[in-house]
Amino acid sequence: MNESIDPNRLPKHIAIIMDGNGRWARSRGLPRIEGHRQGANSVEAALTACGELGIPYLTLYAFSNENWKRPKEELDFLMGLLRTYLANQTERLIKNGVRLQVIGRRDGLSPDVIDAIDQAIEKCKDGAMQTLVLAINYGSRQEIVDAVREIAFDVQQGRINIESIDESTIAKHLYTRDYPDPDLLIRTSGEMRISNFLLWQISYAELLVTSKAWPEFGKEDLYAAVAQYGKRNRRFGGI
């Protein structure tokens, strides 16, 4: 473990935009799918590091709803990689006390992918040490649209008084209603944008961008990010 990490200033929730798989592969003369394959190892490294540090929540941006624009061959590989990950890692997640959750819309996902997700979630439901949240077919604007629709329906049904709607009302209707907001958002590969990820939830998160592509991101990189987080002065709008 990184000795510069302050155990009293750990984030409770880390969110990661896993970027750079394709560029990492291209820079090595490899097909893009090899970048995705290698990136799966970084998922394990990040989850292991969070477990060692005692960080209870890790959310990974696995597949955005904009990613459907990619070539069919790459999409088929990504969906197959997801099924393989869930099949191969579920027992490890159970052994390490990891509860698996998935956020995002299900429309567009094939029945076999949905079945693999549901089975993995069910098998890992008793995990009490960590929660791994995979954002799959996810977009934050779409999440907020879905929340507004739910609230509007509840108002229509008389379950919510329109004058009582506040920030907590919206938060309770987001996909992430059961998790704390991220304290630290990490983006790999040097891109300086949020890419429609947890826009509501990261309002006060600390941001850290690393030039390393996701397939290069290992345990020590996550330790370093947490160490830097511990040195930040989180004022939440105060002085």
Angle at 213 between CA 210 and CA 218, to 5 degrees: 80
Q: In the annotation, is 67 catalytic?
A: yes
d(CA 123, CA 207): 33
Question: Which one of the listed residues 8, 21, 65, 67 is annotated catalytic?
Answer: 67
Q: In the annotation, is 221 catalytic?
A: no
Question: Which one of the listed residues 2, 6, 8, 19 is annotated catalytic?
Answer: 19
16 neighbors 229 (Cβ within 8 angstroms): no
In the sheet where 206-209 sits, what is the strand order? 98-103, 130-138, 57-64, 13-17, 184-187, 206-209
Look at residue 103 and give its three-state secondary structure. strand
Token pair of 40 as six digits:
């799966």
Which residues on neighbouring strands pair with residue 59, listed in sequence order? 15, 133
Among left, alpha and beta (phi > 0; psi -120 to 50; other), residue 3 is alpha
| Residue 206 phi, psi (nearest 5) | -80, 135
Active-site residue set: 19, 67
